[in-house]
Structure 1
Amino acid sequence: MGDNTGIEWTDATFNPWWGCSRISPACRNCYAADTARRWGHDVFHLRGERRMLSDAYWRTPLKWNRAAQQTGTPTRVFCASMADVFEDHPQVTEARDRLWHLIEQTPWLRWQLLTKRPENITAMAPWGNAWPDHVWIGTSVENQRYAEERIPALLKINAPVRFLSCEPLVEQIDLQPYLVADVTTGADIHWVIAGGESGAKARPMNPAWARVLRDQCDAAGTSYFFKQWGEWAPSGRIAMGGSQRGHALVGNPVDELGHRVEMVRVGKKKAGRRLDGRLHDAAPPLSAARATASEA
C-alpha cells in the first residue's frame, strides 16, 4: 500500500499539513502534537505555524488510486491524522483547496475526513449538498457535551458515510438519538469507532462506556468498531479501592455493591482490542452508495 499506518480502521493516512489547535478534552494528551515534537516541529498552537508537506508526498494518493483501480478494491485513506482539515487557519486555506482537487482526482480512494470542527464543514468543503460517493465525513465525540454539540452539525452533511470517532472515550455517551434516521431528513450516523487513550499520560476508559456504545449500535444496526483499550486494560477484577502504582478505578458503580472496575496499565499492545472477548471490526462497505430518497 505504501503507507504503513498503525490506525486499525483505515488502510493509509495522508496529511496535507501538520498542526492544529487544541479545542476540547480529547486534545489534552494529543498524540499528533507529541509526534510532531519528536520530529522537531512545534505546530499545535492556535496561531502557530503549520508544517506543509512536499509536492512528492502530495502525489502519493495518486499512486494509491492507480493501485486500487488495478485491483478493483477501493482503499480507505484517513485524512488527516496530524491535523484538522476544517481548522480555520489562514496558512492552510490554499492547501485545503488543493486537497479538494486531489480528492476529486482519486475516486478509487475512500477518503475519511475526521474533524473536531464540524460547524466549518459546509463553508469550507466545495460540494454543497451533493458530496462525492467516495468521501466519508466524521467528527470526534469524546464525551456527552461534544456529542450534543458536534453530531447535529455532522448530520447536516449529505455524505454517503457519516461516522463518529469516540476516542479517546473519556466518559459515557448516549448516542441513541443519533443512530436512528431522523424521519424528516433521513440523516443518521453510519459508523461508530470507539477506543481508549494511549500515550504516557493516558486516561483509563471504563469498559462500561465502550459496551454502551456497542449495544446502542447493535440495537440500531449501526457499524461498531472497537479500536483499542489504549494504555489501560481491565484487570478482570472488581475492586473497592487501592492506590497501587499502575492501577486505577474508573467509572460509576458497576454492580449492586457499588464496586468499580479495576484497570491496569499494561501498554497498548498488550491491552489489545478485544471487548468482552471478541473483536468488533464492523465498518461501512467500501462501495457504500448514497441512499435514495425512497430508502431514507
Structure 2
Amino acid sequence: MAENSAISWTRHTWNPWMGCTKISPACDGCYAEAMMDKRYHKVQWGNAPRVRTGAHTWNDPFRWQRQAEKDGDRPFVFCASLADIFDNQVDPQWRADAFDVMRKTPRLVYLLLTKRPQNIVKLAEAAGGLPSNAAIGTTIEDQKRARINVPALLEAKADLAPLFAFVSCEPLLGPINIPEYMPNPLWNDLPSWKSAEIDWVITGGETDQGDHKARPTHPAWFRSLRDQCAAAGVPFHHKQNGEWLPLQANDGEWPTDLPGFCRLTPDGDRADGGWPMQKVGKKFAGRELDGVTHDAFPEVAA
C-alpha cells in the first residue's frame, strides 16, 4: 500500500490496519478519515472496529527488504499512515504481528508516528518489544500538545532505545517552542527524561480534507522551529506550507477583499493587526520556506 510514497519524509507507507479515533485538534482534518471512511467507505472512524489489511499489503515490506538488500540502502517506511500504531483500541495481536514483520525486514527503518505516546512503552512491550529497526515519533500541533506528548515520547525513547525519536509538527496550528527537548550542552540538573532528546523535526501546514477546510499556519511558526533545530543541530524537514501563504502588499496596501483572506497573529488568533494570509492552494503554496527546501533526515547506520 503506497509504493514510493508521495510523503516527502518517507520512501514507503505501510498500513497493517486502517481506522482510528480522533483525540486532538490535529485530528480535525484527518486525511485518512476523509479518504478511507468518507470517500471509499473502507472503514468507519471513531469507536468502531479497525480493519486489518490483506496479505498483499502485509507482504510489501518483504519486497522492499529484498530491494533494499540489492540497493544497499535503508529506506524509511511510515507505518500506519491510515491508523495509529499505538492505538489501544486495536487487537494487540495485530501489533505483535506487525512488529514481527518489522524484525524480519531489518534493512527497513520503520517510522512509528503516534498521537498517543503515553501508550508506546506498554503496547510495545506487550507486542514482544520494540523492533530494533524502529524509530518512534509523536504529533505536536501546538504548545499544549508539545508539553503533553514530547516528555512521554522521550521517556519511551529512554526506556526502549529506538533508532531515533522525532516529532511531526503537522498540521502546525500554533507556535511551538521546544529547545529544552533538543540537544543543549549548557543543561545542568537535567530532568529525568533529558537523557533522551528529539532527533528529528518535521513541519507542515494543513490541507483541505473533504468538508474540513485547512487552517492557516503563521510563517513565523515554521521559521521558529527551523531556527530551533539549527541552533541544536537537529535535522529539520519541512514537508509543505499547506493551503496558505503570507500575502504580499500591493503598493503598500493589502487587498483585503480577496476570498480566503485572513489576518493571523503570532499567537494563533485571527484578528486585526495579524499577518495577512491568503489561501492559494497546496500546489501553489509548495514546500519552500523563505525560498529554501528543507529535506534533512536523521542518520542511521548503513
- Fold match by TM threshold 0.5: yes
Where structure 1 has 5 or more consecutive residues not aligned to the other structure, the ranges are: 289-296
Aligned to 1:249: 263
Aligned to 1:203: 215
1:283 aligns with 2:297: yes
- The letter for the 1-side match of 2:81 is S
**Residues 77/239 of structure 1: CA separation in 2 closer, same or farther (3 Å cut):** farther
Following TM superposition, by how much is the alpha carbon of 1:240 offset from its aligned partner in structure 2, in angstroms? 7.1
SS of residue in 2 equivalent to 1:10: coil
Cα distance per residue 1:47-86 (max 9 Å; x no partner): 2121210012101101101110111011110011100011
1:189 to 198, 204, 212: 198
Cα distance in structure 1, aligned partners of 2:217 and 2:83: 24
The answer to whether the 8 A contact 1:144-1:173 is kept is yes
- The letter for the 2-side match of 1:41 is K
**Residues 176/94 of structure 1: CA separation in 2 closer, same or farther (3 Å cut):** same
Cα distance in structure 1, aligned partners of 2:126 and 2:67: 26
Give identity over the alignment, percent: 40
The answer to whether the 8 A contact 2:163-2:300 is kept is no
Aligned to 1:12: 12
Aligned to 2:34: 34
Where structure 2 has 5 or more consecutive residues not aligned to the other structure, the ranges are: none
Cα distance in structure 2, aligned partners of 1:24 and 1:115: 12
Cα distance in structure 2, aligned partners of 1:52 and 1:2: 16
The answer to whether the 8 A contact 2:124-2:130 is kept is no
Cα distance in structure 1, aligned partners of 2:220 and 2:3: 34
- The letter for the 2-side match of 1:144 is Q
The answer to whether the 8 A contact 1:141-1:147 is kept is yes
The answer to whether the 8 A contact 2:166-2:201 is kept is yes
The answer to whether the 8 A contact 1:65-1:109 is kept is yes
Cα distance in structure 2, aligned partners of 1:132 and 1:57: 19
2:234 to 178, 203, 222: 222
SS of residue in 1 equivalent to 2:214: coil
1:164 aligns with 2:164: no
Aligned to 1:44: 45
- The letter for the 2-side match of 1:226 is H
1:92 aligns with 2:91: yes
- The letter for the 1-side match of 2:56 is A
The answer to whether the 8 A contact 1:115-1:138 is kept is yes
Cα distance in structure 2, aligned partners of 1:97 and 1:133: 14
The answer to whether the 8 A contact 1:131-1:160 is kept is no
- The letter for the 2-side match of 1:212 is S
Aligned to 2:105: 106
The answer to whether the 8 A contact 1:223-1:282 is kept is yes
**Residues 260/253 of structure 1: CA separation in 2 closer, same or farther (3 Å cut):** farther
Following TM superposition, by how much is the alpha carbon of 1:287 offset from its aligned partner in structure 2, in angstroms? 2.2
1:268 to 282, 285, 292: 282
- The letter for the 2-side match of 1:101 is D
- The letter for the 2-side match of 1:167 is E
How large is the RMSD of aligned CA atoms in angstroms?
2.5
TM-score, with normalisation over the residues of structure 1? 0.89
Cα distance per residue 1:155-194 (max 9 Å; x no partner): 0122121000000000001111101267565210000000
Cα distance in structure 2, aligned partners of 1:59 and 1:172: 40
Cα distance in structure 2, aligned partners of 1:211 and 1:139: 20
TM-score, with normalisation over the residues of structure 2? 0.87
The answer to whether the 8 A contact 1:113-1:136 is kept is yes
Cα distance in structure 1, aligned partners of 2:289 and 2:273: 20
Cα distance in structure 2, aligned partners of 1:212 and 1:133: 32
How many aligned positions are there?
283
1:22 aligns with 2:22: yes
The answer to whether the 8 A contact 1:202-1:231 is kept is yes
Deviates more, 1:238-247 or 1:96-105: 238-247
Cα distance per residue 1:203-261 (max 9 Å; x no partner): 0100000011011110011111111011112223487783531222112389xxx9432
Cα distance in structure 2, aligned partners of 1:113 and 1:253: 30
Aligned to 1:175: 178
**Residues 243/96 of structure 1: CA separation in 2 closer, same or farther (3 Å cut):** farther
Cα distance in structure 1, aligned partners of 2:116 and 2:122: 11
